[in-house]
Amino acid sequence: MKTKLLLLLTLLFSFNLYCQSDYEIVQSFKNRIPEIEAKVKDAASLEDLQNASNEIEKLKNDFEIHKELLDRSLYPENFQKVINNLNNSVVLRKGDFTQIEELQTEVVTLRSEIDQLNKRNSELLNQIYTLEIQRKKDAKTIAKLQSLVSELKASLTQRDELVFAIIDSLMPRIDVDPNALSDSEKQNLIAETESKNVLFLVKKSIRDNNRFLEVTTLKPQDIEEVKKQQDDFVSLWQKIGPKLADIYTAKPEKSNELRQIDALFTNWKNNLRREVWESIRDDFSIGGINLRRFNNSNDFTQIITNFIDEEIKSFGVKSKEESERVFSIFTDSIWYKTINSDWMPYLIDNKMITSEQKDQIDKKISEWKDLVAPSYSIWTYILSAVVLIIIIVFAFMKLKKKSNNTKLE
């Protein structure tokens, strides 16, 4: 009886099995693959991934019975290969979550360090500003100022590195084609960007760097460091900024914030260029030569050549000593000592001045030198020596003649 029942059930099952369309079976298997793939891709947590994993197991169990049909129909894939691919995608995605969890822990630490550094930087900026606006600076004040500036510079760099680390932590999620991201992935990314306060940190960082340029007078080597830091920051932002802009298209206030960041970067770049010209002008000012403000190479060349022209014109009008003193300060103490040796390579390397403009200034200085401190050729010295010898010989002969006459008398 039991055997008969079993046989009947087997026959019924076989009948049902054979009444199914093979095509429909394969299609239904194929249709479930992208659904599971989407679940793996859109998983927002390890729990979601576990659900996707369970679905893969269910798919395997549901279709194991049609393995032979699927093996023949899924060419060039086969049943087991499809299941393995799905399982591998879960493993890969799990890796993302592990990495993200580690980065999130790291970010919490970074945020706290950044907050401390931001506070410290504000204090330093205020102290430097107070010292900078003092009209008279004694040696002690200058030393303190220099020490504060280097402390602030180090602190800003340290803080920026932490901000870089936070931006880097977004990279695994954001370094993909934004069009390839699903809506839920975009939402997750927006939530992550906001929880890490990335836009605020970037803005704060650029603003502090701008303020640093405003309150300090920098040497060429400092400027080089700031330039490098700026280039690194810009390059990192170029990787993330446009992608964030794509993701934030539906959020006008955030898009606006991104535009502000772009404007701040432009401002920072302009400020750095302005700072170079300001620092050059300060070097002249420290030497006692006060020049009009210049913000570009044309103005700089024009103002320097005008200054020299004025000095040339006034040569002979004012005392010779005064003309020579100004010439000496300008050339020996400022131009050749600082500008030509320290600033000029930076200006030329960064295409802030052309070699023609530099030649124009050198030519003018040379013209000034010929007037104030003319150089004589070797023939001039030989001629002078010959004349001197002749005078001495004449004088000697005259003295000798006079001496002989005295003896005869």
| Interacting residues with another protein between 51 and 90 (CB under 8 A) | 69, 72-73, 75
Closest approach, Cβ 71 to another protein, in A, equals: 9
Query: Which of these ranges, 20-28, 222-230, 298-306, 328-336, lies near another protein under the rule CB under 8 A?
Result: 20-28
The site for another protein, by CB under 8 A, has a size of 11
Closest approach, Cβ 19 to another protein, in A, equals: 6
Are the beta carbons of 162 and 113 closer than 8 angstroms?
yes
| Interacting residues with another protein between 273 and 332 (CB under 8 A) | none
**CA 209 to CA 271: how far, in whole Å?**
10
Q: Which is nearer to another protein, 75 or 379 (CB)?
A: 75
Q: Which is nearer to another protein, 76 or 252 (CB)?
A: 76
Q: Which is nearer to another protein, 31 or 406 (CB)?
A: 31
Closest approach, Cβ 16 to another protein, in A, equals: 12
Q: Which is nearer to another protein, 18 or 379 (CB)?
A: 18
| Interacting residues with another protein between 137 and 166 (CB under 8 A) | none
Closest approach, Cβ 68 to another protein, in A, equals: 9
x/- map, 22-41, another protein, by CB under 8 A: xxx-x---------------
Q: Which is nearer to another protein, 69 or 348 (CB)?
A: 69
Closest approach, Cβ 59 to another protein, in A, equals: 19
Q: Which is nearer to another protein, 23 or 396 (CB)?
A: 23
Closest approach, Cβ 32 to another protein, in A, equals: 17
Rule CB under 8 A: say whether 19 interacts with another protein: yes
| Residues at the contact surface with another protein, assessed by CB under 8 A | 18-19, 21-24, 26, 69, 72-73, 75
